Structure 1
Amino acid sequence: MAKPDILARVQVDLARGRTRLATQRLRTFLATEPHNLEVRRTLASIYRGTGNLSEAGRWGYLTRDVRAEEIAAFERTNPSPWLQLRLLQFTADPKILCEDARTRLMSLTEDAARIGPPDAWTGPATAERPGRRGITVPCLFVIVALSVFAVLAGIGVYRSVIWLWHL
């Protein structure tokens, strides 16, 4: 859906008091166009209006309108520079940002590079996450279900051929 359509629907949602639906629409749009600063500004203002300073800081971090207390709330909620970068979801050329936002982004990128990734992100790629169930049982279930279906389909085809043979 085009950005003007999304913004119009968001305005209708906000007029009806549906802030959750409005933020959901904007976040869905940003999933496909994460570098749209106008939508980020709109999303930050909605969160600012609802009192969610952490999310207002997240979405306003790359805009000119962000407030110091919002950035502080975002950083307090997400203390790792790596996590902050991941949550910002910004990979475009920083030249599209205003000077203040570009400075914040470069500083955050330098902090993340200096600290390095979290230990949980550097373990072996094959290690299973703690508390995560294996996939053996679901896969076994699917195999059994497909086998039963194949046998029943085979019996059905056999019976149909026999029936047609006797006609």
Structure 2
Amino acid sequence: MALTDTLRRVDADLAAGRIPMARMRLRGLVTAYPASREVRRRLGEVYRLFGEPEQAGRWMYLEEDRDPAETAAFEQRYHLPAPRMKAVAWRGPESLAGSAFAEEQLAALRAACSKAAGRPVDWDTVTGEEQPERGAVLRFAGCTGAFLLVAAFLAIWVNGLVDLFD
């Protein structure tokens, strides 16, 4: 009953122009009912009203009639499998998806995340940080940048000392 009542409130919010309130209600519903295609679709539509294609693509990701530009925006924003898997906010087995297309999308995303992590990953335990190689690359890049910065300052300092004794 809570789902039906809340969807009625969402309709009333939208009719009254209270789009942020409708979005907030739908975000709560998608957390409580992650397998509800209707809630996901309606949340995607609200984000479309806001002009946020990446979020519209996120919530329409499991729909076969989704907008390719919105899907591309979502996939670009969440370009690694683990954060994308976390963003989809699915829980439970793919068989609850309600359509063959959605089930295939979920299974493919979980498989890509498991492959990248080097171990099986499931929907109930994904953290979004299953790709340790990304963190290692970022740490390496940060250390390299810091080293180059220190080397540049040392070169300037040494060059200044040499000029003093010339």
Instruction: Give the corresponding residue for 2:115.
Output: 114
Q: Which amino acid aligns with 1:118?
A: Q
Cα deviation, 1:99-145, whole Å, max 9, x if unaligned, reads 2222222221121112112228989xxxxxxxxxxxxxxxxxxxxxx
TM-fit CA distance, 1:85: 0.8
* 1:56-71 equivalent positions in 2, closer than 5 A: 56-71=56-71
TM-fit CA distance, 1:55: 0.7
Instruction: Give the corresponding residue for 1:159.
Output: none
TM-fit CA distance, 1:89: 1.6
* 1:6-85 equivalent positions in 2, closer than 5 A: 6-85=6-85
1:87 is the counterpart of 2:93: no
Instruction: Give the corresponding residue for 1:148.
Output: none
Q: Which amino acid aligns with 1:109?
A: R
Higher radius of gyration, 1 or 2? 1
Give me the whole-angstrom Cα distance separating, in 2, the residues matched to 1:92 and 1:62.
15
Q: Which amino acid aligns with 1:93?
A: P
Tell me the percent identity. 33
Give me the whole-angstrom Cα distance separating, in 2, the residues matched to 1:107 and 1:33.
22
Q: Please, which runs of 5 or more residues in structure 2 have no aligned partner?
A: 118-129, 137-166
- SS of alignment partner, residue 21 of structure 2: helix
Q: Which contiguous aligned blocks of 4+ residues in structure 1 show a shift greater than 6 angstroms?
A: 120-123
Give me the whole-angstrom Cα distance separating, in 2, the residues matched to 1:21 and 1:120.
39
Give me the whole-angstrom Cα distance separating, in 2, the residues matched to 1:42 and 1:86.
20
TM-fit CA distance, 1:38: 1.1
Q: Please, which runs of 5 or more residues in structure 1 have no aligned partner?
A: 124-167
Cα deviation, 1:58-101, whole Å, max 9, x if unaligned, reads 11112333222111111111111101111112123322332222
Instruction: Give the corresponding residue for 1:129.
Output: none
Q: Which amino acid aligns with 2:3?
A: K
- SS of alignment partner, residue 87 of structure 1: helix
Instruction: Give the corresponding residue for 1:102.
Output: 103
Aligned length: 123
Cα deviation, 1:10-67, whole Å, max 9, x if unaligned, reads 1111112111110100111222222221111111111123221111111111233322
Label 1:23 to 1:65 Cα distance change in 2 as closer, same or farther (>3 A): farther
Give me the whole-angstrom Cα distance separating, in 1, the residues matched to 2:41 and 2:75.
18
Give me the whole-angstrom Cα distance separating, in 2, the residues matched to 1:53 and 1:122.
28
Give me the whole-angstrom Cα distance separating, in 2, the residues matched to 1:65 and 1:28.
24
Give me the whole-angstrom Cα distance separating, in 2, the residues matched to 1:67 and 1:99.
18
CA contact (8 A) 1:40 1:63 kept: no
